[in-house]
Chain A
């Protein structure tokens, strides 16, 4: 299994600002994923981040709003840009290993 940590665990931000969420894994992994869980909803994939290449975004998500970095095989960041109250969600990173994925504890974001 993989141990995943995220920073910050939670934050309250003002409308129009940006927040960068960090995801650290205790082992080298090829594929990392970022998901969003809106209040009372299921998880939706934002993008897939592979080291050394541009992130691949799912329909409805764009790089200008959710820029992602993947500088090495154990670390990734997701930035939520120009935030609005609709961005209030839990953001989770996960790593893919054969036949399963492991999730970080999540970052609970509230935008006022």
Chain B
């Protein structure tokens, strides 16, 4: 079984500041790792994912996440945030053996970017 822990429920930051949203997971099998974003009153969108290869993955809007197997972490970072990044961010894992299989989500981190 897998579990995901997002260590911060809320992260308030000022515009143009750097941010890190932390995610740790637990699993007895190899996993895929994902970050999803949910903007206010909108659906869930895939932000980035780690499947294999380079442990550093990037999104098109400047976010990046690094898979750290020894620390079982997949923290999300952005060097300079915008007001428009205000949203709920969810870390999730799925079992590698069951491609396209069910996702286990963390509790979510509310990122609030202030001017």
Contact = CB atoms under 8 A, between A and B. Distances in A.
Interface of A: 30-31, 33, 41-45, 48, 92, 94-106
Interface in B48-88: 49, 51
Q: Is the interface on chain B under 10, 10 to 19, 20 to 34, or 35 or more residues? A: 20 to 34
B43 A100 contact: no
Interface of B: 32, 34, 36, 42-46, 49, 51, 90, 94, 99-108
Chain A interface, DSSP helix/strand/loop, else mixed: strand
Contact of A100 (B34, B104, B105): B34
A45 B90 CA distance: 14
29 contacts: A30-B100, A31-B101, A41-B108, A42-B106, A43-B44, A43-B90, A43-B105, A44-B105, A45-B103, A45-B104, A48-B102, A92-B43, A92-B44, A96-B99, A96-B102, A98-B99, A99-B32, A99-B51, A99-B99, A100-B46, A100-B100, A101-B46, A101-B100, A101-B103, A102-B46, A103-B36, A103-B44, A104-B43, A105-B43
